[in-house]
Amino acid sequence: MLDQSEIKAAIEALLFMATEPLQIKEIKKVLTVDRAEIKESLEKIKLEYAQQDKGIELVKINRGYQLQTKAEYSSIIKDFHQPEVTKTLSQAALETLAIVAYKQPVTRAEVEDIRGVNVEKALKTLQKRGLIAEQGRKDVIGKPIIYGTTNQFLEYLGLESLDDLPEPKEFAKLNNEELEEIKPDAN
């Protein structure tokens, strides 16, 4: 038979591992103790986690109980869980991103017309990374999705606004000497 501190510890362990709110009847099945002892332990756990030096709390959700992080730590949790993008963008994704940046709002078909190839995968990659987003639908037959860049795109490139993008004519300024400098040696 479990004493009160063991019951509390066992309930805490169950709450910790549970992915859904635990109802008293579920706890009762596992611990075979009466409802009053479970409720008393839940109240003690709730009071302990209510302390200011705790980052989690016990909450009652949908007739069950669940441990969750306190709301005041949501920004820290959000920062921690942002996926770290370690891979660089592929050439296809970079080309697609450049087209969207300069031609936005633009449809997939318009990007494909410029690139000459299917860009569905590149668009999905760019959306997944938060560099482009759906901006609505074009008012033409079929109502295709239109894409545009996001604030994350500006951060990614270190720009304040789209006005800071270089003019397309600047790309054509590379002269033959500059091209020779960036070509690998044929030796």
Which pLDDT value is given to residue 160? 81
Q: Would you say the CATH fold of 91-182 matches that of 4-76?
A: yes
* pLDDT, tens only, 94-104: 999 999 999 99
Which pLDDT value is given to residue 3? 86
Which pLDDT value is given to residue 187? 46
Q: What would the mean pLDDT of 73-84 be, rounded to a whole number?
A: 78
4-76: which CATH topology? Arc Repressor Mutant, subunit A (1.10.10)
Q: What would the mean pLDDT of 143-154 be, rounded to a whole number?
A: 92
Asked if 14 and 27 count as a contact pair (C-beta separation under 8 A), the reply is yes
Architecture of the domain made up of 91-182:
Orthogonal Bundle (1.10)
How does residue 183 score in pLDDT terms, banded at 50, 70 and 90?
low
DSSP letter for 183, please.
S
20: left (phi over 0), alpha (psi -120 to 50) or beta: beta
159: left (phi over 0), alpha (psi -120 to 50) or beta: beta
Which pLDDT value is given to residue 14? 95
On the question of pLDDT at 185 being above 60, the answer is: no
Give which of 102, 104, 160, 150 is closest to 129, Cα–Cα.
150
DSSP letter for 61, please.
E
The residues with which 60 forms a beta bridge, in sequence order, are 65
* pLDDT, tens only, 107-134: 999 999 999 999 999 999 999 999 999 9
Kindly report the pTM of this predicted structure: 0.49
How does residue 19 score in pLDDT terms, banded at 50, 70 and 90?
confident
- Residue 7 has φ and ψ, to the nearest 5°, of -60, -45
When the pLDDT of each residue in the chain is averaged and rounded to a whole number, the result is: 86
Gyration radius from the chain CA atoms: 28
On the question of pLDDT at 152 being above 80, the answer is: yes
On the question of pLDDT at 78 being above 60, the answer is: yes
Q: Could you state, in order of their start, the residue ranges of all structural domains in the chain?
A: 4-76, 91-182
